[in-house]
A and B are shown apart, each in its own frame.
Chain A
Amino acid sequence: MAKIENITFMAALAAYLVSAALYFVYIAVKNGKVSKAAYTVMFAGFVSHSVCIAVRGILAHRLPLTNQYEFATAFAWGITLCFLIFVKKFKFDALGAFVAPVIFLVIGYASMQSKEIHNLMPALQSNWLGFHVSMAIIGYGAFGVAFGVAMAFLLKDKVHGKIAETIPDEKTLDLIIYRSVALGFLFLTLCMVTGAIWANNAWGSYWSWDPKETWSLITWIIYAVFLHLRVRKGMTGKKAALFAALGFVCVIFTYIGVNTLLSGLHSYK
């Protein structure tokens, strides 16, 4: 079984890399067949990735969402899921050129972590773990897509020819950023609420200002300000794209920085 996990993980990693490469080719040549192939490879990677996560769950006899490796791989899975949905919904094939590298980097980070399966400490043995982390995966995934689209937006002015033609107009990009941030924001809120309920069951306190909680709140504030500016003040264009990118930097710090640099209840140190 461990072999299946390894094979499917490596297959997913390779598929994401190949897909990213194909998406780069697509934006250079603007050939629909290439983008179709890139999407197919990405989808195949997603299936393999899903099998990998399921196999790990069977091996560990629990939801595989509890350590740095497991969350990183689930994080990449979440971005891929959101990407596959958004790319179809908005018919924005070139999105892969901006999101696939992010997916590859996150799963690449996962590949550098220890894959050893550890038993869960008592505090993590809760049904709320699944709800809490699943919400984080979808929320972070949506923010990852927003980041990719923001990058496309920021690069749009700097590229010409076929590359520029593959990127949708600014209005569409702006709409995708807004939609993905809105989705991410809803799920981030759900993640924080389910985490609070769980913490109350485990420790008798739903909010302890643990660094992870605090940075989730900071991330929440950044995206809340983004949504306010977007909806109420009509913030669009580069400013919105930069804001979405800043939010994702904060997401990455909440996920990796807090776990490795700051100590607290979520620390893996």
Chain B
Amino acid sequence: MTDDGIKKEKSTSDKNGMFKKIFRFLKGMPFSFILLAVIAAACVLGSVIPQGQTLSYYMETYGARKGNLIAAFSLDRVFSCWWFIALAALLCFNLILCSISRIKGVINAWKRTKSFGIWGSWVTHLGLLLLIVSFALSQYTSKEEELYGIPGSKQALGRTGLQVEIDSFDVLLRDDFTVEQYVAGLTVHNGSASLSGEASVNHPFKAFGYRFYQNSMGWANYVDIYKGGELVKTDLICAGEYTFPDDFPSLVIMFNKFYPDFREAEDGSFYTETPLLKDPRSLYGIFYNGGLMSIDIVKPGELITVHDYTFVLRDPVQYTLIVGKTDPYAWTVGLAAAVLLAGLVLSFYVRPYEERKRKENGKD
């Protein structure tokens, strides 16, 4: 063989050796530990740093330097940022390589011992892999839409093609006024058929492949807008929402907060004595060109006059927030969790590690 030939072969064998080393590292436990350590560290950051806030929030809370770091490394949305997903993907890759490389040994050991416990560790790893993949699949394929409305209203559920009618909404109170349950009566139409039922917390209503969750509630007010004594607009707005005269949009009334059983404390703050509609008040703000003109509290039907316009907040009513969700692959997450648990039981209790070791060492 010529010198060039020897060099070429040496270079190919070096390359193969390097690839083998990389492959060994990628399927190995040290790589798993590095990934798990970084994932755990990311989890710590994600739990300590409030997630999903605005950049200005982080700037104000942590200062400009830390705020910029948080934004640069996506620490404001750790669990959905690219590097966290990449870590999970690498962990999957590591689990796949590890499982493939171990399967032969596991099968041989099983042939030798016929003990299902031999499969424990392998099944546990498979379960974890399935869990991460099915979670990602479920996140990717699930659809979620929400709507809110008062009894009697009918709305489309996003772009699902379903119409949701809110037949009723009740807040069931105990004697001490704590909430026992929130119950929404719903009728869901899919164009050709309708299904009716109740959605309450922990008991979603299932219709046309969707689960409807009773998610939240609040108070809404009807707002009448008069101009020169003539009714020009009626709107229904929930707490936190606003409306305006169509011919004068720079004048805005915002409904801030509702007190069904109003009381004023000694320090001047407002609170509600009970959740019952006994002595209601609404806190509102008037804005002109984006600037706050006034803020006050009114009884239902009380007139609020600004220039030529009069606003009336009336007939407060409770609204419900309904979330419709379809998750066609949720069952895969359940299956993966079952595989993981089965793997753990096999690992620890079908033929525990110590016994295995003892038998392998021929001490039994």
Chain A contacts to B: CB under 8 angstroms: 118-119, 121-123, 125-126, 175, 178-179, 182-183, 185-186, 189-190, 193, 196-197, 200-204, 206-207, 209, 211, 214-215, 217-218, 221-222, 224-225, 228, 231-233, 258, 262
Asked whether A228 lies within 8 Å of B29 as measured between CB atoms, the reply is: yes
Stretch binding the partner chain, chosen from B152-160, B178-186, B235-243? B178-186
Contact check, A119 vs B174: say whether CB atoms are below 8 A apart.
Answer: yes
Q: Mark B158-200, 1 if CB is under 8 A from A, else 0.
A: 0000000000000000101011111000000000000000001
Contact A218 B40 (CB under 8 A): yes
- Chain B 226-244, CB-CB to A under 8 Å as 1, else 0, gives 0000000000000000000
The 8 Å CB contact of B337, one of A175, A179, A182, A193, is A193
Query: How many A-B Cβ pairs are below 8 Å?
Result: 99
In the complex, the answer to whether B323 meets A204 with C-beta atoms within 8 Å is yes
Is residue B220 contacting chain A, with contact meaning CB distance below 8 A?
Answer: no
Residues of A within 8 A of B44 (CB): 218
**New contact pairs (12) apart from A125-B180, A178-B353, A225-B33, CB-CB < 8 Å:** A119-B174, A119-B178, A121-B179, A182-B352, A186-B348, A202-B202, A207-B135, A209-B51, A214-B43, A214-B46, A217-B43, A262-B47
The bracket for how many chain B residues form the interface is: 35 or more
Chain B nearest Cβ from A184, distance in angstroms: 11
B344 at the interface (CB under 8 A from A): yes
> For A193, what are the chain B residues with a Cβ–Cβ distance below 8 Å?
337, 340-341
Whether the Cβ atoms of B340 and A203 lie closer than 8 Å is no
Q: Mark B20-52, 1 if CB is under 8 A from A, else 0.
A: 000000000100110011011001101110010
CB of B211 within 8 Å of the partner chain: yes
A contact face: mostly helix, strand, loop, or mixed:
helix
Q: Which residues of B contact A125 (CB under 8 A)?
A: 180-181, 201-202
B353 (CB) vs chain A CBs: closest residue? A231
B135 touching A228, Cβ below 8 Å: no
- Enumerate 5 A-B pairs (CB-CB under 8 Å) in ascending A order: A119-B176, A189-B344, A193-B337, A204-B211, A204-B327
A224 adjacent to B48 (CB under 8 Å): no
Closest CB of chain A to B322's CB: distance in Å? 11
**Residues of B that sit less than 8 Å from A by CB:** 29, 32-33, 36-37, 39-40, 43-44, 46-48, 51, 79, 121, 135, 144, 174, 176, 178-182, 200-204, 211, 213, 215, 323, 325, 327, 330, 333-334, 337, 340-341, 344-345, 347-348, 352-354
Known contacts A193-B337, A232-B29; is A215 also within 8 Å of B348 by CB? no
Question: In the complex, which residues of chain B have a beta carbon less than 8 angstroms from the beta carbon of A200?
Answer: 330
In the bound complex, CA of A26 to CA of B159 (Å): 71
Given the known interface contacts A125-B181, A193-B337, the answer about A204 and B144 at a Cβ–Cβ threshold of 8 Å is yes
B182 touches which one: A122, A182, A258 (CB < 8 A)?
Answer: A122
Q: A204-B204, A214-B47, A224-B36 are in contact. Are A186 and B213 (CB under 8 A)?
A: no
A246 to chain B, nearest CB (A): 12
Contacting pair B353 A189 (CB below 8 A): no
> Complex: how many Å from CA A24 to CA B353?
33
